[in-house]
Chains A and B, each alone.
Chain A
């Protein structure tokens, strides 16, 4: 499964970078979101994948035989939440930027 996911992460990064270099603001923010997602998946794949066996302790107090690594999952959870904070903030900032008269492209900000 790592093979498939590696390709998927590559695709997500490519799409994210392409959008990040866009002149249009909506696409730019979408690019940021996609790159965030891709990074999360990257860490996840790098931590190896174990299908379906979640890192839960069984009823008898012992771990299951082969389970997914909890460390990258914990890392990604933190990253996702912080990423959400950034996305929300970026969206509001850009919205405020468009409230400025005469600004309707990102490039106008340079003037």
Chain B
């Protein structure tokens, strides 16, 4: 498994080079990758291999990190879908994207996306799951924004990325919390901790995080809005995203986490209510849509709602129904999307109301394929959709609670699905308003949708071939599951009658809508739409960012200095008062008159420096401060310091005086407000420093270094001046560094003094 996933990624990196060599044939070449993975997985399945298979590479056992892959029935089902549909998508894209711009880039990202998706359903370690999860978000961002010259595509890509990345963050939190509770970082082992998790106080947060992650990915209400916009992607991508990948990742998560977090009342309520709302809303929105891709997108949302509800209910029938529906949906939805792309290419429009007159005569093949898929979509025998729909109705009829509500919700959804069947077939192919002006395209483009549509029919006629696979997958979702058999005909039971009712109602709603043009008056809900809230938050974030940048990045040196000082003041001050407090050593109060006078001189000179408005007198008083400090050093037993300080002070003042005549004569004054504010900051800083020093000198210092240098400076380094010995012997590398800094500064000064623009011009 590691090998196959790795090979997909390596292949993806090679795509641009291959594209230069093979040109348009790249798609067929690349399709070999998914088909070989499909065959390999299929071989595992047929060969009766005992599942699960696990492969792992240890990485860092301390952090519980390993590259682990895990293949059980559930992963197998998803892996087969991803690779199988992926193969057909490549074939389709080969025709659809022929001679399109940036094909190399497109196929590279598509391959990466497929690899990430396969990795996601096979990964077993929490970190690898997260990485693959984010990879699908990023690659789908690039795929949705493929037509990056269009504003709408960029917007949709952003939206998809932000919403799914939000889910990614939620997933991260959820997985970390799970890890904290169970100390288990391998997903396949987590189901052993089911009881511990569901009874833990952190259960609700974990459930919410995992659910939000899956909701965003699977476009469940209220995160559904990104999916209809995501149709800005090229059609092959839409077909792939909607049928087998991306949005199915969230469903995969519900299935995967069913035995870990499921089976509780919270799980049932959260998932089945959100799923129920989403499926009804999606079905109605799909019926209102005119753009065929948008219609399909909303119907995907609705179908995902059905699956979420199924895994939320969590009964054996429900899980089986959900698993079967995943396959049914993947088959008909990929067909319909691919057909939408073909119709768009040939008629030049995506709007059903703008389709040409009697399209069924002009494009009989397209009509046939759409019919096959749409009948499966509406759940009409003998298509595979019918099998799934029967199971779903069975599920709601036997749901553990509120059976009537679920039955009603399911019925409404199926009614609209049937109505959509008529929109897709009757309205699209028979009504029509415009004169036909069809473009010719290569007939090969029909291969992929025909295969998926016919597969749907074959599976419908012989559903038993899937019994093993779906039972195996279901048993991984619910441990007590006993394998079931799929059958087309269940006899005249309640589910069948409900199915009949939905067909009748659906047909009548459709034909009614043709005559009566009713509109739902929901205008007052507009500001509350999730997409509007998203826009508001998005714009708000940008405005806030701009405001904050303007406020923080003012470009004035003193503002930066002020912020830095305030931060130091607050943080240090808080820590100081909280941890140490004010302490004064009374022994240090012995002050000689001479020292007091020195202190007063510094005080006066400082005051003069602060408030004078003449440059030269400020400098002179600064030099007085410097001289006073060096006398203090002298007094306090540091003659080396005194000498150096005096020298440096003199040098600084000299340089200052040398350039003073080049500087503006007029001295700027502070504004009154600034004066008070800066005064506060300055006094605060000074006070804090004084108090800290008081505190530091409260206890006597017991320095071992002092003794060490006293003993060794003469015996080891033959020097009597300890300071000197430290600088040139014990810590000589420091001094070397210091000399380097000084030399660099000197070079800089030299270069700046000698540099003028005129010289450069010469």
* Residues of chain A whose beta carbon lies under 8 Å from any beta carbon of chain B: 1-15, 17-30, 33-34, 37-38, 40-42, 44-57, 61, 63, 67-71, 73-74, 76-78, 80-89, 91-96, 98-99, 104-107, 110
| Cβ contact within 8 Å between B742 and A82 | yes
| Cβ contact within 8 Å between B723 and A85 | no
Interface size on B, residues (CB 8 A): 104
Instruction: Look across to chain A and name the residue whose beta carbon is closest to the beta carbon of B659.
Output: A95
Expressed in whole angstroms, the minimum distance between the Cβ of B552 and any Cβ of chain A is 14
Bound complex: CA A55 to CA B734 (Å): 20
Instruction: Look across to chain B and name the residue whose beta carbon is closest to the beta carbon of A29.
Output: B656
- Cβ of B745 within 8 Å of any chain A Cβ, yes or no, is yes
| Cβ contact within 8 Å between A107 and B640 | no
- Cβ of B609 within 8 Å of any chain A Cβ, yes or no, is yes
| Cβ contact within 8 Å between A4 and B693 | no
Bound complex: CA A44 to CA B696 (Å): 12
| Cβ contact within 8 Å between A11 and B606 | yes
Given A54-B639, A88-B655: A13 touches B685 (CB 8 Å cut-off): yes
| Stretch with Cβ within 8 A of A (4 or more), from B305-313, B473-481, B515-523, B705-713 | B705-713
Q: Which of B592, B651, B687, B714 contacts A57 (CB 8 A)?
A: B714
| Cβ contact within 8 Å between A11 and B742 | no
List the A side residues contacting B713 at CB < 8 Å.
Answer: 57, 70
| Cβ contact within 8 Å between A63 and B584 | no
| Cβ contact within 8 Å between A10 and B731 | no
Instruction: Look across to chain A and name the residue whose beta carbon is closest to the beta carbon of B709.
Output: A70
| Cβ contact within 8 Å between A49 and B591 | no
| Cβ contact within 8 Å between B667 and A26 | yes
- Cβ of B231 within 8 Å of any chain A Cβ, yes or no, is no
- Cβ of B588 within 8 Å of any chain A Cβ, yes or no, is yes
Bound complex: CA A92 to CA B585 (Å): 44
Q: Which of A3, A51, A99, A110 contacts B636 (CB 8 A)?
A: A51
Q: Which of A5, A23, A95 contacts B558 (CB 8 A)?
A: A23
List the A side residues contacting B711 at CB < 8 Å.
Answer: 63
| Cβ contact within 8 Å between A2 and B588 | yes
Contact with A along B671-686 (1 / 0, CB 8 A): 0001000110111011
- Cβ of B491 within 8 Å of any chain A Cβ, yes or no, is no
Instruction: Look across to chain A and name the residue whose beta carbon is closest to the beta carbon of B757.
Output: A99
Bound complex: CA A42 to CA B695 (Å): 13
Q: Which of B633, B637, B669 contacts A53 (CB 8 A)?
A: B637
Bound complex: CA A105 to CA B666 (Å): 10
| Cβ contact within 8 Å between B693 and A2 | yes
| Cβ contact within 8 Å between A8 and B602 | yes
User: Mind listing 18 A-B residue pairs with CB under 8 Å?
Assistant: A11-B603, A12-B686, A18-B678, A18-B681, A19-B609, A20-B565, A24-B667, A29-B656, A38-B689, A41-B629, A55-B637, A56-B722, A68-B638, A74-B731, A80-B641, A85-B741, A87-B652, A89-B749
Given A37-B625, A95-B659: A44 touches B633 (CB 8 Å cut-off): yes
Given A19-B610, A73-B640: A51 touches B683 (CB 8 Å cut-off): no
List the A side residues contacting B571 at CB < 8 Å.
Answer: none
List the B side residues contacting A70 at CB < 8 Å.
Answer: 706, 709, 713, 722-723, 726
List the B side residues contacting A45 at CB < 8 Å.
Answer: 693, 696-697
- Cβ of B535 within 8 Å of any chain A Cβ, yes or no, is no
List the A side residues contacting B742 at CB < 8 Å.
Answer: 81-82, 84-85
Bound complex: CA A4 to CA B475 (Å): 82
Instruction: Look across to chain B and name the residue whose beta carbon is closest to the beta carbon of A45.
Output: B693
Instruction: Look across to chain B and name the residue whose beta carbon is closest to the beta carbon of A82.
Output: B741
Expressed in whole angstroms, the minimum distance between the Cβ of A70 and any Cβ of chain B is 4
List the B side residues contacting A26 at CB < 8 Å.
Answer: 615, 618-619, 660, 663, 667
Expressed in whole angstroms, the minimum distance between the Cβ of A72 and any Cβ of chain B is 9
| Cβ contact within 8 Å between B689 and A21 | no
Q: Which of B565, B636, B683 contacts A1 (CB 8 A)?
A: B636
| Cβ contact within 8 Å between A81 and B749 | no
Bound complex: CA A63 to CA B445 (Å): 97
List the B side residues contacting A110 at CB < 8 Å.
Answer: 554-556
Knowing that A33-B652, A45-B696, A49-B637 are A-B contacts, what are 10 other residue pairs whose CB atoms are under 8 Å apart, sorted by A's residue number? Answer: A3-B589, A4-B596, A8-B632, A10-B686, A17-B565, A37-B629, A63-B722, A67-B637, A69-B703, A80-B644
Q: Which of B610, B618, B697 contacts A2 (CB 8 A)?
A: B697
Given A13-B689, A30-B622, A63-B710: A50 touches B636 (CB 8 Å cut-off): yes
Bound complex: CA A82 to CA B710 (Å): 27
List the B side residues contacting A88 at CB < 8 Å.
Answer: 651-652, 655, 745-746, 749
Contact with A along B523-551 (1 / 0, CB 8 A): 00000000000000000000000000000
